Amino acid sequence: MRLRAVILMTILLLSSSSYAQSYPPTSTDLLSAYCIAVLKNRQALLEQLDGPAAEHGVPAPESISDIQRTINEMIMNSESELARLRGYLRSRLSLVEAKALAEAHEAGERDLKQAQDEAIDCLKRYNCNEASHPDSRSLMSCSDKCRNRSSYATIRLMRCNDPLLLPY
């Protein structure tokens, strides 16, 4: 009788979620965690661009309206992709090692910081600013020099642009 109770208790403990075995995350799990950090940052940047003219009640010229519409679409797409990645990972959290997911998320944050620092350094190196390039086309042409210089961090960040990131 006592042996049977010990066996039942062991089975219960092993089958409970707090004692269940966790598995190493898949490459999709890790990339999802990495890209959540990237998309959260992208979302914050897009929201900073959202609606400065509308906030002041200034009617926007047509070109600015088009830009605002594009920004709004990008925000909605980013929100949707972020929700999709979070939903995917939420369903996997009880199965995989959380430490590896946290490390992948932190790697995304580090790559973002590195890519931003490199972009700022490049813009300074080529003197890409409004004072040196008052014409917007000239400024864009100057900044294109930096856009075409892809570091390893930037290349890793671009993986998050893949719409087929998740298997569904």
Q: What is the pLDDT of residues 106-152, one digit of tens each?
A: 999 999 999 999 989 988 998 988 888 888 788 888 888 887 667 89
In this prediction, residue 110 carries a pLDDT of 96
Residue 12 forms part of a structural domain: no
Number of domains into which the chain is organized: 1
Residue 11 forms part of a structural domain: no
Are 32 and 105 contacting, i.e. CB atoms less than 8 angstroms apart? no
Residue 65 forms part of a structural domain: yes
In this prediction, residue 133 carries a pLDDT of 85
Query: Global pTM?
Result: 0.75
State the amino acid at position 69 in one-letter form: R
Q: What is the Cα–Cα distance from 75 to 81, expressed in whole angstroms?
A: 10
Taking only the tens place, the pLDDT of each residue in 27-40 is 999 999 999 999 99
Q: What is the Cα–Cα distance from 68 to 59, expressed in whole angstroms?
A: 12
Q: What is the mean pLDDT of residues 64-93?
A: 88
3-class SS at 77? helix
Taking only the tens place, the pLDDT of each residue in 39-57 is 999 988 888 877 555 454 5
Residue 21 forms part of a structural domain: no
Work out the burial of residue 53: count CB atoms within 10 Å of its CB; fewer than 13 is exposed, 13-18 middle, 19 or more buried: middle
Q: How many residues does the chain have?
A: 168
Q: What is the Cα–Cα distance from 61 to 71, expressed in whole angstroms?
A: 15
Residue 166 forms part of a structural domain: no
Residue 165 forms part of a structural domain: no
Residue 4 forms part of a structural domain: no
The residue among 101, 93, 85 whose CA lies nearest residue 43 is 85
Q: In DSSP terms, which residues pair with 23 in a beta bridge?
A: 96
Residue 54 forms part of a structural domain: yes
Enclosing domain of residue 128: 26-159
CA 62 to chain centre: 31
